[in-house]
Structure 1
Amino acid sequence: MSTPSNAPDSTSSATSPKLDLGSHASNPAGPAGKHPAPPCTLVIFGAGGDLTKRLLMPALYNLTVDGLLDAQMKIIGVNHGEGETSAWRDELSAALQQFAADKASTFHTSKLDEKAWGSLAQRLEYMAGEFESDDTYANLKQKLANTPGGNVVFYLAVTSRFFKPIVEHLGKAGLLKEGDDGAGFRRVVIEKPFGTDLASARDLNAHILSYAKEEQIYRIDHFLGKDTVQSILAVRFANALFEPVWRREYIDCVQITASETIGVEGRGKFYEQTGAFRDMLPNHLFQLLGMVAMEPPNSFDAEAVRDKKADIFDAIQPLKADDVVFGQYGKGPAGQGYREEPDVASDSQTETYAAARVFIENWRWAGVPFYLRTGKRLAARRTEISVQLKAVPFRLFRDTPVDALTPNVLTLRIDPTHGTSFDFNVKAPGPVMQMGAVQSSFNYGDFFDEQPNVGYETLLYDCMLGDETLFQRADSIETSWAAVEDVLHPKGSPLPVHGYPAGSAGPAEADALLAQNGHTWRPLSKDADAKK
């Protein structure tokens, strides 16, 4: 999580359009105070894949517009099958143009800036190679012989089965060896899933760390690339209003939601093997939990922040079957059921919804339930964190025409709207002491020119800078999987999968989970979205 220098930035562009796959930008100017990353070569394994086209290349384009890529930077795309650099460039150009056209209503342009794209395109070079062939790495070593500064970032935009062999081949070919004097960094970016349970995560960590040092491995979670996620720490630690009450004495519960209205979108094979719980809980939602629950670090230094998050993951009580609810969407107002999706078994027991009750055993959070939920085909698309404060004594209001006071809730809205809101009580107008529930809210777009962002710009930039704040360490990965081990590998029968109609708020059993502690989910509906 890079922090700006005090020097002025003469490299950012105020005219070139940037790609935004969701935010609403009105000012394309680059971030003030930032300077180009060090010169390096970015090697993308999986150059022809969806991740490269949809996220990496748009992010690199936006970094180009901002002037944050060094003039000497090169990009080598490695992929199966023969191909030409010119054809790869044309393919990426067409994909970026299509994104611009499709998203014209959510950012200020429907066309790429030819100068910016030309600057990026001329850096691109395609290299055909099998990921498990020694020849690929011998050829790559030749291409990297004269790389600027000796700096290389290897990005594994491939399926997880290639993580181990690619790192192994890089290590054996000497491509991960760094200069003895500290010059010439070599870094490896690995996408999730980083393992599928505790045993596989440990095995993967052990394997890659036998060829590279921990500080060379950048385990990426795109959730942490969102400005609104990074701002959680600012909201907590830069405001005297919040931190004093951010503890068990004042907070009743915390809810973390990542809901989607879409289904599996043609990814039936992947989802059948993974499910909502593995896909979202031990990584994305735990990362949000870590940001909300961590102790204040002494600085924003990468290890200071990651140490505090690691302490939280280590303090999570292992989840039991009674703490988790699985669901699967069936036919409903939003469309067909999961079992009717392509590549899904007609009797599938794969969960498309998961809710969990999590407890953190430390002095700050003991006894406070954290409720996590995620799912497909739900009533609204939303990623948000709601912090509900404890109720005040009701005796003072017993003679007023109100049965209960609305709880005070601070909500941090991450996607698709960006901002915060606070629910509290006031006196309604009139001669009688009658309470009314109100909401005060703030939207980023009302105060800031939100920068177009696909979620990978900051992560790529920080990796090139060597800032590991937003990347996961081996110990945190393993403690996260350890916390859910009993759910993934139950000693008794597998957890039941409850049905819910497509377009609803999820299974009723998830409501019952919260009711055990006297809580209810925050509303998940389009009406609630409209009020925001």
Structure 2
Amino acid sequence: MVSRIIPVDTFDLVIFGGTGDLARRKILPGLFRRYRSGQMPEAARIIGVARSDMAADDFRQQIGQALEEFVEEGKRSANDIAGFLAHLDYVRVDAKGTDGWGELKGKLRDEAVRAFYFSVAPGLFGDIARGLHKHGLAHDETRIVVEKPFGHDLESAKELNAGLAKYFDEHQVYRIDHYLGKETVQNLMAVRFGNILFEPLWNAQFIDHVQITVAETVGVGGRGSYYDKSGAMRDMIQNHLMQLLCLIAMEPPSKFDPDAVRDEKLKVIRALEPVAKNDVVRGQYVGNDAVADYIDDVENPDSATESFIALKLHLANWRWAGTPFYVRTGKRLRARMSEIVIRFKETPHSIFGADSGSKANELAIRLQPNEGMDLRVTIKEPGPGGMRLVDVPLDMTFAEALGPEASEVPDAYERLIMDVIRGNQTLFMRGDEVEAAWAWADPVIAAWEDNNDKPRAYDAGSSGPEDSLALLHRDGRRWREIKV
């Protein structure tokens, strides 16, 4: 193809699965917020694509209802919604056949950046990529966005990547992980690489251990059939938590450039050691009067799928030798909370005595709720009575520290979609990253499947199985509490 430079002041975004749940809940509300903030070009167009036979006006009406449902009342108006809907169009396309492709092609502009969002099941990725190529909808400024799951294991991930690579170069493929679009996740990189205070201490010499927790209060909901085939390991650890681990553990990239950042993330994944059997705890929630058991939610009384998992991980490199990373995620837990905790080592010698109350420093990075950070430091307790020390937080909640504008930062989807339009792949996974993550995860999964290991029961509303607490207790450590 002949390379052409097309300005991003105009784009055509085509959403395959435009009437689906993800489009209605996340993608289109996110784009609406970008429109409302003045960051959507006047010439931008959004084309919904699905199998349903409907008129464009019916699609606009459907999306208008979705905006009223999923955008806060104070952040939308009838005029804003009407203005945004004027950018929308709709085409019925048969992804596996020939119907609709010609009409869709006729709506696309040669002078616009083209982005195709595959908000569909992974089984359709190859069909859509083939259709775009066969019917001449793709050019050198085409970008495609694919949602997780990126395969079910290494073999299927390779098949997906190979299917996309037949028609698109790697620089055109955007594998979206919404966790990487969170403001606090990006601030993690700023904290590490923008402050001399932290980076010299960011290694095994000074850090005792790292905790990553993603806790949810909800059950599997309407995703039961999918979730029971995947479980927490495939659904969360292999992608979301793996990406958080990479950002914490990576070496400083030479520059803030897509491939420079992703090269360092890939090194982290490849440095992960095999996980010992006793360093994995799997659980399955048991309901109560208010909520159902997991097996009832997924309608499978014999299910051996985990709704909770905790692991102790090690990295085989100089920076992190001997420093464990504890990760956990689960459903029906005590509170909704996502955070990263960096626990520093205690001072090598306390001049104040063993009973002074001196504690190790701790940096906690909150992803949700109330995005922010707090650094726990030791100070003297006010008042007479000698040198008594107390642990206090230096807290920065973004909305409080940065003022009202902090609450207006883009959510993950709207930020990432605009990065697609700009051609910035920094916050998107590369194909070799995905395959490396599955190459590590597959043996962990195979180990419990080969042994027919059953997940441990835990009460809905708890912190997970008791064995997950022992994962740290045996090392003389404790999980940071999941707070309501």
- What is the SS of the residue equivalent to 1:288? helix
**Letter aligned with residue 338 of structure 2:** T
For residue 14 of structure 1, what is the aligned residue in structure 2?
none
Of 153, 158, 161, 1:197 maps to: 153
Instruction: Kindly report the root-mean-square deviation, in angstroms, between the aligned alpha carbons of the 2 structures.
Output: 1.9
- What is the SS of the residue equivalent to 2:334? coil
CA contact (8 A) 1:321 1:495 kept: no
CA contact (8 A) 1:321 1:486 kept: no
For residue 264 of structure 1, what is the aligned residue in structure 2?
220
For residue 87 of structure 1, what is the aligned residue in structure 2?
58
For residue 382 of structure 1, what is the aligned residue in structure 2?
337
* Corresponding residue pairs, total: 473
Where does structure 1 differ by over 4 angstroms across 4 or more consecutive aligned residues?
none
CA contact (8 A) 1:52 1:157 kept: yes
Of 159, 174, 193, 1:218 maps to: 174
TM-score of the superposition, structure 1-length normalised? 0.85
Cα separation, partners in 2 of 1:334 and 1:375, compared to 1, 3 Å: farther
Of 161, 166, 170, 2:123 maps to: 161
Deviation at 1:124, TM superposition (A): 1.1
Distance 2:248 2:275 in 1: 19
Distance 2:399 2:393 in 1: 18
CA contact (8 A) 2:9 2:43 kept: no
Cα separation, partners in 2 of 1:511 and 1:120, compared to 1, 3 Å: same
Of 304, 312, 324, 1:357 maps to: 312
For residue 135 of structure 1, what is the aligned residue in structure 2?
99
Matched, 1:447 2:401: yes
Cα separation, partners in 2 of 1:72 and 1:247, compared to 1, 3 Å: same
TM-score of the superposition, structure 2-length normalised? 0.93
Distance 1:498 1:213 in 2: 44
Of 263, 278, 281, 1:307 maps to: 263
Unaligned runs of 5+ in 1: 1-35, 179-184, 527-532
Distance 2:49 2:266 in 1: 34
CA contact (8 A) 2:204 2:323 kept: yes
Distance 1:311 1:220 in 2: 20
Q: Which deviations, in whole Å up to 9, do the C-alpha atoms of 1:425-480 show, x marking residues without a partner?
A: 23333323333222221110112222153321111111001000011101111111
For residue 41 of structure 1, what is the aligned residue in structure 2?
12
For residue 472 of structure 2, what is the aligned residue in structure 1?
514
Cα separation, partners in 2 of 1:509 and 1:56, compared to 1, 3 Å: same
Distance 2:292 2:349 in 1: 46
For residue 479 of structure 1, what is the aligned residue in structure 2?
436
**Letter aligned with residue 492 of structure 1:** D
Distance 2:38 2:391 in 1: 47
Which structure shows the bigger proportion of residues in helix conformation?
A: 2
Deviation at 1:114, TM superposition (A): 3.1
Of 65, 84, 97, 2:68 maps to: 97
**Letter aligned with residue 267 of structure 1:** R
Matched, 1:208 2:164: yes
- 1:227-266 paired onto structure 2 within 5 Å: 227-266=183-222
Cα separation, partners in 2 of 1:169 and 1:391, compared to 1, 3 Å: same
CA contact (8 A) 1:164 1:208 kept: yes
**Letter aligned with residue 409 of structure 1:** E
For residue 177 of structure 1, what is the aligned residue in structure 2?
139
For residue 301 of structure 2, what is the aligned residue in structure 1?
346
Unaligned runs of 5+ in 2: 1-6
CA contact (8 A) 1:39 1:148 kept: no
Which one is further off, 50-59 or 425-434?
425-434
Deviation at 1:99, TM superposition (A): 2.3
Deviation at 1:266, TM superposition (A): 2.4
- What is the SS of the residue equivalent to 2:251? coil
Matched, 1:327 2:280: no
Deviation at 1:221, TM superposition (A): 0.4
CA contact (8 A) 1:38 1:464 kept: no
- 1:398-477 paired onto structure 2 within 5 Å: 398=353, 400=355, 405-428=358-381, 429-448=383-402, 449-450=405-406, 451=408, 453-477=410-434
Identity %: 39
Deviation at 1:394, TM superposition (A): 5.1
- What is the SS of the residue equivalent to 1:134? coil
Matched, 1:293 2:249: yes
- What is the SS of the residue equivalent to 1:149? coil
